[in-house]
Each structure stands twice: as C-alpha cells, then as structure tokens.
C-alpha cells in the first residue's frame, strides 16, 4: 500500500506541474523553433542538423538563450490525456475525465496543416538525419498517439466524437505518401508525407498498423484489416534472431542500433495489433521481443539503458516506456509486474524533482541534466505512472 501511495503522489505532482503550465514547455527537437537559429541556418540541412543535435544533446538547457518558445506538443497533449483517463479509471474522479476530454477536444480542433484531413504532427520544424519536417507537418507517429488517446476516450465514454476523429485519420495513415515497400503480405510507409523520402524508420509502419487495426475493430472492413496486418508483418519480419529490431531498415541507414523506447513501441504495437485484430500469429515474436527488451535494455536496478551497446544517457522516456510495456506483458508472465514496479521506483526516486514534481530529462554517468522537457519527460512519465496506478487499483 505504501508503494502505491508513493506512485500516486508522484503522479499527482507531475500532473499538477504540467497543468499549472497549461501543458506547455520545451521539446526535444525544438531548436529550429528559435527564430534566431532558423535565420542563422541559411536554409542548410547540415546547419539545421547541427543546431538540432547541439540543443538536444547539451548538458544544460540552451533553449532560453536562443529564445526557443514553450509550446503545446500534440503528442504530449495525447499523453497527458491518456494519463488523466488512466487516473479516472483508477479512482473514478470525474474531474480527471473532464480534463482528458478538454485536452482531446483541443487536439480535434487543432489538427496539422494538411490536405489529408485529421492528422497531427509536431508544432515546430525539425531536422532529422533522413528528412526535414516543417512546423505542423503531420507524421504518422504523432497521429498514432493522438488516435490512441481518442480511442481510449471512446472506449471509456462511448462518445462517437472521439471515434469519428480517429476514423477520419485513416485517410492520412493509410493513403498519404509515401509507400516505401508493398507486396502481397508486407507494406511499409514513410514517417511524413513526402514523395522524396526513402528512409525506413521501423516503428512507423507497425504503430500505424496497430492503431489502424484498433480503429477498424469498431466497424470492421476486411480491406483495412489486410492493410493493418501487412504493416505489422513488415516490421515483425525484420526481427533479429535474438529478438531485437534495428531503428531503420536497412540497419546501416542510421547509427542507432537497438534502442530502448523504440523497442518498447514495437512490442506494444504487436500487443495492440493482436488484441484488436484477434490475429495471434505474431505471439512468438512478441514474447521474444519483450524478453529482449527486459534482459538487454534495462539495468538490474531498473534504469533504462540507452541502447544495447550503450548504457548512458539514462533517459526518463525509457523508464515510462518500460512501465507501459511490461504491464502489458504481464498478461503472459506476471513476473513482468515486478519489473514495471522496479522501473517506476527508480524513476521516481532518481529522476523526479522533489520540490516541483517534474521529471528530469536524462542522467549521464557523471551527472543528471538539470532541466525537464514537457512532453518527453513529464508527458511520458505521467502516462507510465498512471498505467501503473490503474493496473494496481484494478487488482484491489
């Protein structure tokens, strides 16, 4: 009971911190939201990438120096909405559901600037290794998280508004360019809508397939079901013989190998696909993937390793993802519950600010970075802790 009270108190504090700031804050890849840095990039991909990486990797928060604004991040808003819904399901406090609905209504009223209808992206421009995305350009990963939150609310309230908004996103998820691979059994889609992109990021297609299967479970369409399975199958097919997935395909396209939270994304997507489609054919690969995630990407103390070949930085996003993934895996093996509890305690004790309640971004081998990111740190830990609270309350 004392442990649950500690988790509940931690969740209360981080949600209070975020709400007091209207859920606005800094973001991991928001360097180019600085008008100064944008001007000084002179339209160069390489300069934009340097600015983005320097701001992202700095041991101190350089954003205030370069006048990066604090903003609402659509993915972050989806995460906070999920956290409030989870706490509502645990404690049945209507104010939590009201707050979640307010956040979701904001998302519905503020989709990305696109011809594809309902879809969402980051509110800031960002430069990645494989592509550049202007501000408010929709992408499939952000849209996945928003649709997941919308469907969670639909499941709780039976309000068609949230289902219809998620269903309206199917056009973007399935039809926006670009198809990177397609045959009778597998399909792969681009991260953002562009005919110029040939970069395959592994979690994009499987997240898309999982949420498409979930949306399609309400009004079943056989053609959409086939598309969802092909998207999931493409990624499952790329699993290594030791249970992992590379960040890109082929692996040489990015220096990152098997990192923490993207592995969690993939195993959760397989879990959700199986749950909502009824297709259990990927169960073996799922169990192997979860085992790899636990055995390789977390320390014995419950700290989130950055990747299979690199422990530091310890990133709090990995803590949150581990909690979420292992609670789901408990359906197959209850020992994963203890793993989720251990990870949560490590994060609360080592990464939460004792006075203000926010979660720090990262910890290196020498020091903890003395700042927070609203979506990356607090949105994710709010969701992770709320999943844990809901799980343990359900066992009472």
pLDDT at 142 over 80: yes
CATH of domain 2-29+71-128+139-394: 1.50.10.20
Q: Are 166 and 140 in contact (CB under 8 A)?
A: no
What pairs with residue 139 in β-bridges? Answer: none
Tens digits of residue pLDDT in 188-209? 999 999 998 899 999 999 999 9
Query: What pairing do the DSSP bridges indicate for beta strands 314-315 and 362-363?
Result: antiparallel
pLDDT at 130: 77
pLDDT at 1: 67
Tens digits of residue pLDDT in 97-138? 999 999 999 999 999 988 999 999 999 999 988 789 999 999
Tokens at 195, concatenated: 């005919």
For the chain, where are the E strands, in sequence order? 126-127, 132-133, 179-182, 187-189, 200-201, 248-249, 314-315, 362-363
What pairs with residue 352 in β-bridges? Answer: 359
109-139 burial, b at 16+ Cβ within 10 Å, e below that, comes to eebbebebebbbbbbbbbbbebbbbebbbbb
pTM exceeding 0.75: yes
Question: Which percentage of the chain shows pLDDT scores above 70?
Answer: 100
Tell me what percent of the chain is helix, strand and coil, each rounded to the nearest 5: 55, 10, 35
Mean pLDDT of the chain: 97
Show me where the domains of the chain are located. 2-29+71-128+139-394, 31-70
Nearest to 81 by CA among 383, 393, 385: 383
Tens digits of residue pLDDT in 56-107? 999 999 999 999 999 999 999 999 999 999 999 999 999 999 999 999 999 9
Q: Who's near 330: CB < 8 A, 6+ residues apart?
A: 336, 337, 340, 391
pLDDT at 395 over 90: no
Q: What angle do CA 351, 352, 355 make, to 5 degrees?
A: 140
Tens digits of residue pLDDT in 283-332? 999 999 999 999 999 999 999 999 999 999 999 999 999 999 999 999 99
Q: Are 209 and 231 in contact (CB under 8 A)?
A: yes
pLDDT at 222: 97
């Amino acid at each position: 009971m004392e442990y649950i009270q500690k988790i509940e108190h931690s969740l209360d504090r981080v949600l209070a911190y975020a709400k007091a700031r209207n859920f606005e804050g800094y973001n991991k890849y928001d360097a180019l939201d600085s008008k100064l840095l944008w001007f000084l990039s002179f339209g160069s991909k390489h300069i934009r990438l340097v600015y983005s990486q320097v701001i992202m990797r700095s041991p101190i928060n350089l954003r205030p120096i370069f006048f990066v604004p604090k903003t609402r991040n659509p993915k972050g808003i989806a995460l906070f909405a999920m956290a409030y819904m989870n706490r509502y399901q645990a404690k049945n406090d209507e104010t939590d559901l009201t707050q979640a609905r307010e956040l979701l209504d904001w998302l519905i009223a503020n989709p990305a600037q696109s011809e594809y209808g309902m879809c969402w992206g980051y509110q800031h421009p960002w430069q990645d290794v494989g592509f550049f995305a202007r501000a408010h350009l929709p992408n499939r990963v952000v849209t996945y998280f928003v649709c997941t939150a919308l469907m969670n609310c639909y499941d709780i309230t039976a309000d068609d508004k949230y289902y219809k908004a998620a269903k309206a996103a199917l056009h973007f998820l399935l039809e926006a360019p670009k198809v990177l691979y397609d045959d009778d059994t597998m399909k792969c889609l681009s991260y953002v809508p562009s005919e110029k992109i040939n970069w395959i990021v592994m979690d994009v297609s499987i997240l898309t397939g999982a949420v498409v299967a979930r949306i399609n479970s309400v009004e079943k369409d056989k053609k959409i079901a086939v598309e969802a399975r092909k998207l999931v199958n493409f990624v499952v097919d790329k699993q290594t013989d030791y249970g992992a997935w590379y960040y890109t395909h082929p692996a040489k396209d990015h220096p990152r190998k098997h990192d923490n939270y993207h592995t969690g994304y993939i195993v959760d997507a397989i879990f959700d696909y199986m749950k909502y489609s009824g297709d259990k054919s990927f169960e073996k690969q799922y169990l192997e993937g979860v085992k790899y995630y636990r055995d390789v990407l977390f320390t014995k103390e419950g700290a989130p390793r950055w990747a299979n070949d690199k422990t530091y930085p310890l990133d709090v996003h990995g803590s949150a993802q581990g909690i979420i993934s292992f609670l789901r895996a408990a359906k197959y093996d209850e020992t994963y519950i203890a793993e989720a509890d251990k990870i949560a305690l490590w994060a609360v004790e080592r990464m939460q600010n004792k006075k203000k309640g926010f979660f720090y971004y990262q910890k290196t081998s020498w020091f903890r970075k003395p700042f927070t990111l609203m979506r990356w740190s607090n949105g994710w830990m709010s969701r992770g802790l709320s999943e844990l609270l809901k799980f343990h309350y359900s066992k009472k």
